[in-house]
Amino acid sequence: MLEPITNDSIILIVQVHNRSEYLRHLIKSLSNAYNISQTLLIFSHDYFDDEINQIVNSIKFCRVLQIFFPHSIQLHPNEFPGTDPEDCVRDTNQDSAKVLKCKSYDSPDSFGHYREATFAQIKHHWWWKADRIFEHLTVTKNHDGYFFFLEEDHYVAPDFLYMLKLMDNKASESCKKCNILVLGKHKVPTSNISFINNDVIISEWVSSKHNMGMAFKRNTWIKIKNCSKIFCTYDDYNWDWSIQHISRKCMDKKLQAFSLSTPRVFHIGQCGTHTLNNVECNVEGIISNLVESFQSSLDNFYPRTLNIGYETIPDVIFRKNGGWSDKRDHLLCLNMTND
């Protein structure tokens, strides 16, 4: 029997593109999670696909809601925010672009490149999804509990929801300044994992360390949204690196992470947007390693206590990645959070 959604419920949010194989594995792992029936699972899509819809519609273990990104490339294949035939090609020299008068010829990115719709869509989708769920959906716009962010190529351990509650309790006691709980790490599990370590690390939130399997509440979203102008105009097509930037340049206090040393959310999508061509895509092998690790670590799941450690992040200048200099992207992004 499904539990009613309350302020103590966890809102799970999955950003989905078109990789149904990975999505099936994520859903399978979610179905085995402790207390999953007490959650609301929201899928945010930027690609409409009958197979994916059938996969989502088959879920019976918790309440499910689907939302669809209205500014997707699929809906606008030959115009912005897709690729307009008159757009400047990524590697066009700026002098040549001026002669051609292709669209946005006067705004190449920090590395002299022009926009690529497939990359720009990811940041747009994340921003729209967050605003939609925090501000507009009837079932969530007044929710004050945790919002837990996942992607279609993630995989969760059976006790991930239990660990989230445990971390929240520990952070309430020992780190009131911590505003993002992190249960994931990007390293792909290529061998068995030991779950004996119950350490949590307190540190500044850093994109490359803390952008996966993260949970935060409405007050943290308000801090992020209050920096929307900088987020939407910062020349980086990555939503997470843009949050990293506003954390250091816009907020009164940097975002603080409370992260598990031994993760409960794993990245199984070896082949994706940022993958090198020489990486072997062996998702079945990764899943097999994870399942074996879970089975051999049953006695170590659901720990009663957590041990706190600290990490100091150097105050270095983070290098922007470009891909986000087109004024049309800036305007679309800003308009998404204009109530």
* Binding positions: 15-19, 46, 121-125, 153, 267
Strand partners, 265: 156, 184
Q: Are strands 214-216 and 147-151 parallel, antiparallel or unpaired?
A: antiparallel
What residue numbers does the annotated binding site for substrate cover?
15-19, 46, 121-125
Could you give the C-alpha distances from 300 to 26, 106, 318, in angstroms and in order? 22, 57, 37
Q: Any residues with CB less than 8 A from the CB of 284 and at least 6 apart, and which?
A: none
SS3 content of the chain, % helix, strand, coil (to 5): 35, 15, 50
3-class DSSP state of 321: coil
Please return the burial class of 303, using the count of CB atoms within 10 Å of its CB with bins 0-12, 13-18 and 19+: middle
Strand partners, 43: 14, 66
